Structure 1
Amino acid sequence: MSDSNSSKESIIRCGWCGSDPLYMKYHDEEWGKEVHDDEVLFEFLILESAQAGLSWITILKRRENYRKAFAEFDVRRVAAFTEEDVARLMQDEGIIRNRLKIEAAISNAKLFLKVQEEFGSFDRYLYSFMPEGKAIINEVGNLKDVPARTELSDTISRDMKKRGFKFFGTTICYAHMQATGMINDHLDNCSFKHTN
Structure 2
Amino acid sequence: MTSTARSSRSLVWAGAVVFVVAVGLVLLMVVRPSEASPSGSGTSGSGTSATAPAESSADVGFARDMSVHHQQAVEMAFIVRDRTDDEAVRRLAYDIINTQANQRGMMLGWLESWGRPKSSDRAPMEWMGHPATPDDGALMPGMATDTQLDRLRAAKGRDAEVLFLRLMTVHHRAGADMARAAAGSARTDEISDLAAGMARAQESEITLMADMLEARGAKP
Say yes or no: TM over 0.5: no
Specify which structure has the higher proportion of helix.
Answer: 2
Looking at CA atoms only, which structure, 1 or 2, has the larger radius of gyration? 2
**TM-score normalized by structure 2?**
0.29
Q: RCO (CA 8 Å, sep 6+): is it higher in 1 or 2? A: 1
